[in-house]
Amino acid sequence: MRERAGPGADWRPLPLADGQSLAVRWVRDARARRLKLSINERGIRLTLPPRASERSAWAFLEAHAEWLQRQRRDLGVDPPPLRLAPDALDRLPLWGVELPLVWEEGRCCRLRQDGEQLVFSYTSRSTGERLAAMLRDFLEAEGRARIGALLPALLPGIPRPPTRFRLRPMSSLWGSLAPGGEVSLDLSLVLAEPACFDYVLVHEICHLIVPNHSPAFWHEVSQRYPGWRRVRTRLRQDGLALKARLNQLLAG
């Protein structure tokens, strides 16, 4: 009888030759037909078929250990720990630029832009969670302001306008369109250069015309954003690091 890693998912260390280890999330999936490794901003995941043995899983991991190390380093999905606090952070990314961050103690908790710098007001009782919530609100407001500026030029020719916009951290997608017309955008796009945000917004808006990724859909995208291929390539290259940076900042 084959061994199992147990129900659900659990994190296990994969020892490396240099004495360090990689944390790997083991996930049993009834739909899986083979062992599969994936890596994203949340870490490393090993997907196992229901009847895969632990012995075969460990052998599979050991055979791919060097690849995992290289991927984690190259993709930047394992950033160092970050504390959102006055004595720990002096810059923040916004629209593709690392802006100086000035901390000031005051009567309320607030993040605002002042010229070429950001100013984070805090109180003696401000926790990391509270500061992270303020940062998230600030980034969401930035994204909504950009949507408001771009939308009038995008709506002509659209059969129906979006019903709602949501900006939130997304694990793998950059955006999505719900059947009811709600558009979701990854909040990490606010950290990237504006072209990335603009392309994903155009992409989702065009799905209101063509719901699939047929040539007709890409024709609509090209009409509204001719340089979409270059931006899509950049997101594919740097996207995981961008998502990881947002997770790092919002961890508080």
pLDDT tens profile 215-224: 999 999 999 9
Which pLDDT does position 8 carry in this prediction? 43
pLDDT tens profile 204-242: 999 999 999 999 999 999 999 999 999 999 888 788 778
Q: If you average pLDDT over every residue of the chain, what do you get?
A: 87
Which pLDDT does position 241 carry in this prediction? 79
pLDDT at 5 exceeding the cut of 50: no
| Residues recorded for the chain | 252
Alpha-helix runs per DSSP H in the chain:
54-63, 65-75, 128-154, 194-206, 215-224, 228-250
| Structure token digits, residue 121 | 């007001």
Residues whose CB falls within 8 Å of the CB of residue 198, separated by 6 or more in sequence, listed in order: 146, 150, 225, 231
Q: How far is CA 66 from the centre of its chain?
A: 25
In the chain, ranges of CATH 3.30.2010.10 domains: 136-250
pLDDT at 18 exceeding the cut of 80: no
Nearest to 37 by CA among 57, 7, 11: 57
pLDDT tens profile 147-157: 999 999 999 99
pTM equals 0.73
Which pLDDT does position 39 carry in this prediction? 81
d(C-alpha 48, C-alpha 31), whole Å: 9
Report yes or no: 92 and 191 within 8 Å, Cβ to Cβ. Answer: no
Which pLDDT does position 70 carry in this prediction? 76
CATH architecture of 136-250: 2-Layer Sandwich (3.30)
**Segment holding 164, helix H or strand E:** strand 164-168
**Quick count: other Cβ atoms within 10 Å of Cβ 191?**
23
DSSP 100: E
Higher pLDDT, 51 or 2: 51
d(C-alpha 241, C-alpha 225), whole Å: 24
Least confident interval from 16-25, 78-87, 94-103, 115-124: 78-87
CA 251-241-65 angle, 5° bins: 100
